[in-house]
Amino acid sequence: MSGERLYLDWAAGAPLHPAARAAATDALAADVGNPSSTHGEGRDARSRLELARRRVAGLAGAHPRDVVFTGSGSEANAAALFGASAVFVQATAHPSLRLAAERVPHAVVLPVDGAGLLRVDELTRALQAPRPPGRAVVALGWVNHETGAVEAPAPVAALARSHGAELHVDAVQAAGRLALSEAFEVAASVSLSAHKLGGLPGAGALLVHGGPEAALLPGHQERGRRGGTPDLVALAAFGAAAAAVELGARSAALGAAEAALLRVVRSIDPTAILHAAGAPRAPGIASLAFPGADGELLLVALDLAGIAASHGAACSSGVHEPSAVLRALGLPAPLVASSIRLSLGPTTTEEALARLEAALPGALAAARSV
């Protein structure tokens, strides 16, 4: 295999941003210090930590004190639901939300419509039903990690409040695609992940209004919301990646890249189906079915041709089961099995997609030969 590979799995993890790499390298070169210590080294570490906090807060127009750093977006989701007595989560939510909900005494999985959007009538019915006393949370995946379908946080937050519940928004895939203030203004909490933005894996954040709640990981750090000494290298990179986001330019680049991608796909296979096409969609995440093809073989053939793509959530990679997201849309099993996710970044160019244009016909032939 010659030439550079084409990376079409940005929704699983973005390549490390140059600013994030520089911030991580600088943090590694600094004197070791614990940000909880009062000596000079500790103060330097604290300065780096708080710079990262200010930068991440800036993504959502939040105050730095609203930012609780975690080890991942999955941990942030689990922390948001920890201590709740009831959780209502859509069937298409990220596995980290659905699995965290399973640990809550009263968990309701909500169906979606054919476009993958939450059915408000079902949420209303669930909120009106008896539930245990205590904190109730509606857990909403804002931008779907497989299809890119976009939910509307404001009406869901209003409905939740009218029934004595709060809203948590998983904004991991929304960061860098949508204005996060739209969710943080109406939600009790919002989760983020560094490596989706071009930071390092091992860093996430829970943006939360108000004082401490029950902590998933006890400790005095992070205002008592998350114990443990923070990973300054990963958090410095997270802050730098957050500061580098220029939402308007990024969204425009993602929209142009997706339009080019769909032109390539449809010119090669007019039968290809874009899932959730009837829903509002965030730019850069496309779940596509290629009728008659084996999706697993298609991914292998593309990989051999130098193109990285996936089925969906990287947390589920290696688990060869039909997509829970696509099944929740009510799609027939053969169509689900023929689907893959192609996700793009702001540096994905139309010229780079020429590699997909060259490789896709042969890959589809191989995937349809079984």
Which three-class secondary structure string do you get for the chain?
CCCCCEECECCCCCCCCHHHHHHHHHHHHCCCCCCCCCCHHHHHHHHHHHHHHHHHHHHHCCCHHHEEEECCHHHHHHHHHCCCCEEEEECCCCHHHHHHHCCCCEEEEECECCCCCECHHHHHHHHHCCCCCCCEEEEEECECCCCCEECCHHHHHHHHHHCCCEEEEECCCCECCECCHHHHCCCCEEEEEHHHCCCCCCCEEEEECCCCCCCCCCCCCHHHCCCCCCCHHHHHHHHHHHHCCCHHHHHHHHHHHHHHHHHHHHHHCCCCEECCCCCCECCCEEEEECCCCCHHHHHHHHHHCCEECECCCHHHCCCCCCCHHHHHCCCCHHHHHCEEEEECCCCCCCCCCHHHHHHHHHHHHHHCCC
Catalytic residues: 315
The predicted model gives 148-174 an average pLDDT of 98
What confidence score (pLDDT) does residue 334 get?
95
The predicted model gives 87-102 an average pLDDT of 97
- Picking from 243, 278, 299, the residue at the C-terminal end of a domain is 243
Residue 8 lies in a domain: no
Residue 5 lies in a domain: no
Does the pLDDT at position 319 exceed 60?
no
Find the CATH number of the domain harbouring 174.
3.40.640.10
Residues 6+ apart with CB under 8 A from 53: 64, 67, 69, 239
What confidence score (pLDDT) does residue 33 get?
85
Does one domain contain both 349 and 237? no
Chain-centroid distance, C-alpha 308: 18
Does one domain contain both 229 and 257? no
What confidence score (pLDDT) does residue 215 get?
84
Residue 312 lies in a domain: yes
Does the pLDDT at position 316 exceed 90?
no
Does the pLDDT at position 30 exceed 90?
no
pLDDT tens digit string along 119-130? 999 999 999 999
Residue 3 lies in a domain: no
Does one domain contain both 294 and 309? yes
What confidence score (pLDDT) does residue 194 get?
98
How many domains is the chain built from? 2
- Picking from 216, 243, 270, the residue at the C-terminal end of a domain is 243
Does the pLDDT at position 314 exceed 70?
no
What confidence score (pLDDT) does residue 1 get?
37
Dist CA 212 CA 11 (whole Å): 31
Does one domain contain both 282 and 345? yes
The predicted model gives 268-285 an average pLDDT of 97
- Picking from 243, 267, 286, the residue at the C-terminal end of a domain is 243
Residue 309 lies in a domain: yes
SS (H, E, C) 79-111: HHHCCCCEEEEECCCCHHHHHHHCCCCEEEEEC
Does the pLDDT at position 52 exceed 50?
yes
Residue 288 lies in a domain: yes
Residue 33 lies in a domain: yes
Q: Global pTM?
A: 0.95
Does one domain contain both 188 and 326? no
Does one domain contain both 33 and 59? yes
Does one domain contain both 86 and 216? yes
Residue 335 lies in a domain: yes
Does one domain contain both 217 and 156? yes
Dist CA 312 CA 227 (whole Å): 31
Does one domain contain both 138 and 208? yes
Does the pLDDT at position 291 exceed 80?
yes
For the chain, give the percent of residues with pLDDT over 70.
96
Question: What is the domain extent for residue 360?
Answer: 247-367
Does one domain contain both 84 and 216? yes
**133: confidence class by pLDDT, cuts 50, 70, 90:** very high
Q: How many residues can be counted in the chain?
A: 370
Number of Cβ within 10 Å of residue 82's Cβ equals 18
Does one domain contain both 201 and 68? yes
Does one domain contain both 236 and 263? no
Find the CATH number of the domain harbouring 255.
3.90.1150.10
pLDDT tens digit string along 225-244? 899 999 999 999 999 999 99
